[in-house]
Structures are given as structure tokens and as C-alpha cells.
Amino acid sequence: MSSEDNGNTSYYAPINIIANASDEGRQLRDILRKRIGISRRLMVKLKTSDEGLLVNGQKVWPNHQISEGDVISLRMETEVSETILPQPMELDIVFEDEHLLVLNKPAGVIVHPTTGHYLNTLANGVMHYWQERGERIRFRPVHRLDEHTSGLVIIAKHSLAQQQLSAQMMEGTVTKEYRTFVYGRPAELEGEINGPIGRQTEDPHRRVVREDGAPSLTFYKVTDTYLDQASAVDIRLGTGRTHQIRVHMTSIGCPIIGDSYYTDEKWLETELASSLSETITRQALHAARLGFKHPITGEEMVLEAALPEDMKRLERELEKLVHT
């Protein structure tokens, strides 16, 4: 993302809005709230910045009265994640522009550094990538994936993009679709799992379906079956709880292959589990498709990431069940 240095302050490239006839006579703050739903917090940041709010190239205040044809420019000061160490890493970039970066995260990689885990995260690789391009950008993941789940992750490049995408997430207008392979065969080949999810009393890291849990909704469709031993399932999230897909598939008796944490002994002791133990060494879950509105242009975005090699390998092994 391009930026400029004005004195000691660096700014991202401006985001421009052209005032139309319906904006005539309205205050700038009202237009920004109506057009892009700008938050109060971001409005304060822009107001207190030397060049945050410009109209026709001149600094103005949020109560400035707008005329049709005015060029409104939002200029955000650059930020950088000082505590994230840049680290060379191969990145699979699915989409990038000056507002957002969408990556296909490999399994085994954590999105953001945590206590005691400061390197080898997606954030380290992204910070190095931006540093090499001479860009000052703060790492702002809009959502997360489990360490051992592969697939699409959206990273906002500035606070406005993050605000807009986070709002879409909260409103449930972001389409998140996954592909997984599970043990067994669901009783219904297509349906929804509507089961509240909460922490397990004995193990607070583990989630379970429980009456006092947070409302959780998962839509699924079986796309292939391998005798009655396994199934390929496409999943769409209605909510985004921690471990939601893993918990919900286990709750209907079809845990995800490779997910030892949520798979009960009856499956782990089967001949199938034993034969697949070296085929895939993590939960067979991939975030394959994302649909959302571009946070700045409003364009409908649909992005996809192909199955990784370990899940393709698993699929081939499962197909042998049918053809042997």
C-alpha cells in the first residue's frame, strides 16, 4: 500500500469520495456515516490527524458543510506492528490491493503471535513481506483460523478496511465455506446443526454443545460418501464460534478425520483411522471459499483456495474404499 511522508508523519494513500446531489448541504460526518458507516473512534482519529479529513485538498472538521461535487479525502496515518518480528516466509497470496490482503494459510501455522510463540506465525511472514516492499502497515487479521486448519484469511491494511470488514462479520454477511472429510455418514445428507457451544467443564480449552452455550449454527451438505465409513462435506458457517465445525460434526457422530482432540475412541480404534494415520496428520478442514463486499469499493468479492495436498491425498485414499 502506497504512503507519503509529510514532515514527520506518514500517510496511506487517500480514499476519495465524490459528493453527489443528495449530499448537498449535509455535514461531512453525516455523509461519512451514511456512505461508509464510519465509526466514532475512527472519526476521532481522522479529526485529530493533520491531514485526516480533507475536502478539495483543504483540512476541515467533521461538521463542515458539503456541496455537490466536493472531493472528500480520508487520509489515515500509517501504523506498523512494532512487536511482530519480520520473518521470511513463503506466502500464498490469493488477492491483494491497497486495502486488504487475502492469504491461503497452510496448516500448522498460527495466524498471530501468542505468549511463548513469537515466530513462525502468519503475521511474521506478512510483516517481512511488507517490510521488503518498503510499506508501513499494521497487521490486522479480520478473522482467525485454527493452527491446523488451512485456507483463506483476510487481513485489513488499515483501520477503515478493518472496521468495514469486521462489521460485515458481525452482521453475518460474510460467506465462509469449508471443505472437510469426516468419519461416518450423517443421518441426513443435507441440513443444519443448531447447537449452542460452550466450554467443557473438565477441560476449558475444549468446546462442547451445551444448553447454556452461545448460539451456534452450521449448515452442511454431504458431497460424497465412502461406503458408510467416511464422507466429504461442504460446510457454511452461520456463526463463528471457536472450534465450531469440529464440535458440531462430532455432535452428530461424524468427527473430522485427523482431529484427535474431538474424535472419540470408537473411531480412533478403527482400521480406517489406522490406515489414514500417515495420510493426514491434522484435522481435514479447509476454508475454501469467502464471499464479502470490498470494504472500500463495495464490490462483491468471491475468493477461493484449492484443497491442499494432504487433503487431496486423503480424498484419493478414501476413494479407494469404494473402488476396491
Instruction: Let me know: does 73 contact 14? Beta carbons within 8 Å.
Output: yes
146 is catalytic: yes
Instruction: Let me know: does 254 contact 266? Beta carbons within 8 Å.
Output: no
The sign of the dihedral angle between the CA atoms of 249, 255, 261, 265 is positive
User: Which of these is catalytic: 146, 224, 259, 310?
Assistant: 146
Taking the C-alpha atoms of residue 284 and residue 2, their distance in angstroms, rounded to an integer, is: 38
Taking the C-alpha atoms of residue 181 and residue 276, their distance in angstroms, rounded to an integer, is: 12
Taking the C-alpha atoms of residue 27 and residue 64, their distance in angstroms, rounded to an integer, is: 5
Q: Is 201 exposed, middle or buried (0-12, 13-18, 19+ CB in 10 A)?
A: exposed
Taking the C-alpha atoms of residue 217 and residue 192, their distance in angstroms, rounded to an integer, is: 7
Instruction: Let me know: does 37 contact 161? Beta carbons within 8 Å.
Output: no
DSSP 8-state assignment for residue 139: -
DSSP 23-40: GTT-BHHHHHHHHH---H
The catalytic residue positions are: 146
